[in-house]
Amino acid sequence: MRKLVVMAAGVALLAGSGTSYAAIDKCQKRIQGEGAKLQKFIYGALQKCADAIRKEKAAGVVKGGTDCSTGKACLANAAAFCEKQLATVYDAANAKPNKSKFDLFRATLEKSSSTNECTDSDLRLLEGMGHQLSGGGNGVSLATAPPVSGTCDFDSDGKADTNCRLKFLTDWLMFAIEDAVIKQLMAQTPDLMALLKEAIEATSANPAKPQTDCTNSSSPGYRPNLCRFGVQCFTAVCQLDGTSNANLQVPALFSSPPLPPIPLLGTLSTSVCRAGTTTTNQLGLGAEFGTNPNTLYLINSAARSIRAGTIPSALSGLVSAVCVDVLTSQGWCDCSGLGVNVDASVCQDRIGRCDASTNASCLPGSGTTDECGVPDTEFVSDNLFPNSNQHSDEPTITPVGTSTTGDCVDFVTMQFKLLQSGQSGADGIPCTDDDTAGPLASFTGPLTTGNVQVTLEDLIQYPGQCTGGSNPPCLTNADCPSGSGTCDTSGMNIIVSTASVTGAKPANACAKYTGGNLSGLKLVTGLALADLPITLGSSSTSLDGTLTVELVCQ
């Protein structure tokens, strides 16, 4: 359940970023409440099942066996009890249509959407690449996760669902909730899966107490929920190879030559969840609670496993270490060519209300949007030039492109920390909790096998200078304090900065992912850095640039 809480907390942060959403607090409360109830049902059913099996096994020690011949020590009894408990939660045989706890979870979220308790705008905050869809909330409706379009009836109740966007969110939440419950129970009952398998395979010498039959639906011992229950999420680890890097370009500081890429070391782990089959024992019930068998679901929690290698000499005087924290993620992999958006266009405008790269005289500007389409109602004050400029405080991320088999998008919230000499704390080890420098602002963006295009409009390579006094930098006269004259813009240079990075996927990708093998996978992301406040020595400034990241699995 911790993952659900982490995700919902992230929703609250994003909702406070300036975009207006209808009753996002009510939507978040609904999802958290329904998730907590589903967690309780899964946990209770499995706990009661494990207790029943242990009780029969204990009786078997006294009676000398659990073949049901004595009527007391009988694993078939426990198996029948487990089936009853799990059928209430899953109902793999659809014996009571739309009555299982998973069916009710789906129906409640669908009703919440149809009554506008959870609107499309709310769901975009929770789903796939929609976390920051169009940044300023300009209402662009794009497919960002399977299924792409069409009329959905994913709970098979014979009624068209409110929209297909809700399907991915609900699928992902169910995997995350079930995975958290199983991990918690297995920590408390390490032999949980062995107990279930023992109950499935136990024989019975008593015809009145039939043993489990996993294939024959007419058998009195047919127990589809018990037979199919299993772990569906497995951790796959990407060991970064030598080509993994972060490419930071800051034209105001390093224009010619540009900074060389910063090598990245470490690992990237992700929980890969897949819909279980219906024929083989203990391979999961995912297909039974309605998930798409052609989609893998990616679930991560916080990790501190990536760091920079050697810092380029041009940057070593400024930065001694680069730390990367993954806070949480939500993603998917396409296993059948579903045609979902897999590329991303990332745009941020350093100077709002005008295109200063073509005509700086437009400052301070009077436009109602920036060049990335964000409305001026979403603008924040400029860190360096608050008297003459405002701009959006987050990038616009527009999903584009079409996925093919093996493509993945993991929408990750990350933090970067840039340490200077002497900021590694008392232990002298960078990227630990006693570092004396905090992280830069967290950002959420896609790690994708597709392409990421980054554009920073109106990057300030060289500002103007006030003509008197201490000659502070400026964009307009309003930035010059009393006694500092006017703003000389003759040396001012404002440019458009771009970057591009492309990922890759291995052959037989989905089979490898579910097998825990991420070799050949290359995930990329990018970010526009506009007016990002940083400390250089004893002074503060802001950073304008682009950042692209390539994570290549060996």
pLDDT of residue 239: 95
The more confident residue out of 302 and 45 is: 45
pLDDT at position 17: 33
Residue 149 has pLDDT above 70, yes or no: no
Beta carbons within 10 angstroms of residue 360's beta carbon: 19
pLDDT value at 264 more than 70: yes
Phi, psi of 130 (to 5 degrees): -80, 0
Position 60 confidence tier, pLDDT thresholds 50, 70, 90: very high
Q: Quickly state the pLDDT bin for 161 (edges 50, 70, 90).
A: low
Please state, in angstroms and rounded to a whole number, the distance separating the CA atoms of residues 192 and 220. Answer: 25
CB atoms under 10 Å from CB of 115, counted, come to 10
Please say if the pLDDT value at position 141 is more than 50. Answer: no
Q: Is 441 left (phi over 0), alpha (psi -120 to 50) or beta?
A: beta
H-run or E-run covering 305: strand 303-308
Indicate if the pLDDT at residue 160 is higher than 70: no
pLDDT at 55 over 70: yes
| 437 φ/ψ sector (left φ>0, alpha ψ -120 to 50, else beta) | beta
pLDDT in tens, 421-476: 889 999 999 999 999 988 877 777 889 999 999 999 999 999 999 998 778 899 99
Q: What is the mean pLDDT of residues 391-398?
A: 86
- Res 84 pLDDT > 90: yes
The tens digit of pLDDT for each residue in 512-541 reads 999 889 999 999 999 898 998 776 666 677
User: For residue 100, is pLDDT > 90?
Assistant: yes
Q: To which H or E segment does residue 24 belong?
A: helix 24-63
pLDDT for residue 294: 86
CB 291 within 8 A of CB 374: no
Say yes or no to pLDDT of 137 above 50. no
List, for residues 291-339, the tens digit of each pLDDT value: 777 899 998 878 888 988 888 887 777 788 888 888 888 889 999 998 8
* pLDDT for res 128: 41
For residue 147, the model assigns a pLDDT of: 73
* Residue in the structure block whose two tokens are 């616009």: 396
Cα-to-chain-centroid distance, residue 437: 26
pLDDT exceeds cutoff 50 at 127:
no
> Taking 70 as the threshold, does the pLDDT of residue 63 lie above it?
yes
Highest mean pLDDT among 133-147, 252-266, 515-529: 515-529
Cα–Cα distance for residue pair 370/390, rounded to 1 Å:
10
102-128 mean pLDDT: 74
pLDDT of residue 499: 97
Give the amino acid at 251.
Answer: P
42 torsion bin: left (phi>0), alpha (psi -120 to 50), beta (else)? alpha
Give the three-class secondary structure for 12: helix
> What integer pLDDT is reported at residue 538 of this predicted model?
64
- Strand, helix or coil at 117? coil
pLDDT at 340 over 90: no
